[in-house]
Amino acid sequence: MTILIIDDDEAVCASLRLALKQAGYSSAAAYNPREALQILKQENEHIGLVIQDMNFGKNSDTSGTDGITLLQEIKALKPNLPVILMTAWASLDIAVRGMRLGAADFLTKPWTNEQILLSVETALQLAPEHSTVQHSSPNTAQNNAPSRTELDAQHDFSNIIGNDPAIVKMLALIARIAPTQASVLITGESGTGKECVADAIHRNSTRRAAPFVKVNVGSITPSLFESEMFGHVKGAFTDAKFDREGRFEAAHTGTLFLDEIGDMPLDAQVKLLRVLQDRTFQAVGSSKTKTADVRVVSATNRNLATMIQHSSFREDLFYRLNLITLHLPPLRERKGDIPVLAEYFLRANAQLYNRPEMSLSRNAREWLQGQHFAGNIRELKHLIERTVLMADANTLAADDFRAALNLQEGEKNNAQGAETLTSNQESLPRVGSMSLDEIERAMILKAIEAYPRNITQIAEALGISRNALYRRLEKYNIQV
């Protein structure tokens, strides 16, 4: 396999060829589009990847039109051939056009050898010719698609529950992309399990022994974005009493999970894009440049394509984040997995609340399968826990879930504030069935349901300070 470098600067071609040779790759050079196309036609079966500049000739303009035309001709000649574009930062718009036309990646000038080799490795691993999934025909693909059992035998997917064909297909794709360094965008409604998928990608990657750092970028205020993501040094601003490590540094050599990416303000998007492009950053108040050796996995429940049309999300950042896109179906589209998920959550809560003999009746399974679950897996999980807390019997029936659901609806209709979370004496668990810690944890979860992602209201409803609430969230390992 040969990598074809297309650039009218002989020094650039020589530099790239040396870097590729040192990494064990064979390469060839072309100094103009005509020569490149001739090589591709003559060596069609041997060229496995192209690295091309976007401007050619001393008299050529810098619009990138030459590069776009060449990319279109390459794709017409060999549609599945991965092409990496090289462009200046000022030409990112043209790079985005190239990504729309099927380019595998774009690198800005100047670049580092590490960036080039990482992009090459990822593009080759994701190329159709290197896929372990068959695409020759629908029947072949179906016959060769791995089963859930086969996938579990080779990979760690223990945190993803279900056997729905859409889930199994997604797991097969995760198995393929996890060992690469490709950025992944996970989409889907709230509560569908996007964080679990991100965790599965990390645990099956070559970075599994390094940190998996999670950050809800949508909840970071613009003024604190740089400090949270890149860290700060002592004295950088009024409250900076100590050096603070940012999320990129904490995730060094590991995976950085950016949740709620669609809620980022535009100025924060620019700062994130620059770090993802240059793979370097500086802590606030420091002049020392650090390397961001992280794999980025992001998630959103918003339609980024629509946001791009409305100019509320940057298209160049979108292409940086979604080299691979995974979409999680809502629970209502995989109803066959509801009993399996319910059993899984029941076992977890039975162990948590020391009720190991609990089980689901047949009519409970059927009732659960008939529910819409607008909140998806998260709603099912909370319903199971609520029912475990309320029910006296060890075998949960449909009526037990109806009672828990009716209580939940009643709570939602109560007045806001502490009264919302005050239970009637009859709804308290029987004496001896729960410890005070268990009751406290359950009450915190109820408050989170009543005031999703609003720390101030949750704390006020529970009658404690924000700091006290944070301590309890850490104590009980509760994510808000």
Structure confidence at residue 135 (pLDDT): 33
Q: How far is CA 436 from the centre of its chain?
A: 36
Q: Tell me which residue of 108, 88, 106, 113 sits closest to 25, measured CA to CA.
A: 113
DSSP state of 244: B
Q: What does the domain layout of the chain look like in residue ranges?
A: 2-130, 178-329, 332-475
- Verdict on whether the full-model pTM lies above 0.95: no
The SS3 assignment for 325 reads strand
Sign of the CA dihedral 368, 371, 373, 379? negative
Structure confidence at residue 107 (pLDDT): 87
HSE, side-chain direction, 13 A CA sphere, residue 164: 20
Residues 350-387, buried b or exposed e (16+ Cβ, 10 A)?
A: beebebeebebeeebbebbeebebebbbbbbbbbbbbb
284 neighbors 251 (Cβ within 8 angstroms): no
Q: Which helix (H) or strand (E) holds 6?
A: strand 2-6
Region at 285 (left for phi over 0; alpha for psi -120 to 50; beta for the rest): left
Whether omega for the bond prior to residue 110 falls within 30 degrees of 0, making it cis, is yes
Residues in the chain: 480
Structure confidence at residue 480 (pLDDT): 75
Say which amino acid occupies 372.
H
Structure confidence at residue 141 (pLDDT): 40
CA distances from 222 to 50, 235, 267, 277 (A): 39, 19, 8, 20
Structure confidence at residue 43 (pLDDT): 78
The CATH class for the domain spanning 2-130 reads alpha beta
Q: Tell me which residue of 121, 51, 37, 118 sits closest to 83, measured CA to CA.
A: 51
Provide the CATH number for the domain formed by 332-475 in this structure. 1.10.8.60
CA end-to-end span of the chain: 49
The pair of three-digit structure tokens given for residue 184, joined into one six-digit string: 């992944």
251 neighbors 205 (Cβ within 8 angstroms): no
The CA distance from 19 to 24, in Å, is 9
DSSP state of 231: -
Supply the DSSP string of 121-183, one letter for each residue: HHHHHHSGGG-SS--S-HHHHHHHSPPHHHHHHHS--TT-----HHHHHHHHHHHHHTTS---
Place of tokens 């668990």: 429
Structure confidence at residue 293 (pLDDT): 93
The CA distance from 218 to 222, in Å, is 10
DSSP state of 232: B
Residues paired with residue 284 on neighbouring β-strands, in sequence order: 232
**In the CATH scheme, what is the homologous superfamily, with its name and number, of domain 178-329?**
P-loop containing nucleotide triphosphate hydrolases (3.40.50.300)
Q: Tell me which residue of 399, 477, 191 sits closest to 390, measured CA to CA.
A: 399
Structure confidence at residue 37 (pLDDT): 95
Asked if domains 2-130 and 178-329 share a fold, the reply is: yes
Residue pLDDT tens, the chain, 480 long: 999 999 999 999 999 999 999 999 999 999 999 999 999 998 777 899 999 998 887 655 667 888 999 999 999 999 999 999 988 755 678 888 899 999 999 888 888 888 899 999 999 988 865 443 333 333 434 456 789 999 999 999 999 999 999 999 999 999 999 999 999 999 999 999 999 999 999 999 999 999 999 999 988 988 889 999 999 999 888 888 899 999 999 999 999 999 999 999 999 999 999 999 888 999 999 999 999 999 999 999 999 999 999 999 999 999 999 989 999 999 999 999 999 999 999 999 999 889 999 999 999 999 999 999 999 999 999 999 999 988 889 999 999 999 888 765 555 555 344 444 444 444 566 665 667 777 888 888 888 888 887 888 888 888 888 777 887 888 888 877
Residues paired with residue 289 on neighbouring β-strands, in sequence order: 282
The CA distance from 469 to 471, in Å, is 5
Structure confidence at residue 432 (pLDDT): 59
The CA distance from 140 to 138, in Å, is 6
Place of tokens 């080759």: 124
The CA distance from 450 to 161, in Å, is 27
HSE, side-chain direction, 13 A CA sphere, residue 458: 24
Helix residue ranges per DSSP H, 78-112:
92-100
Q: Beta strand 395-396 with 295-300: parallel, antiparallel or unpaired?
A: unpaired
Beta strand spans in 328-465 (E): 359-360, 395-396
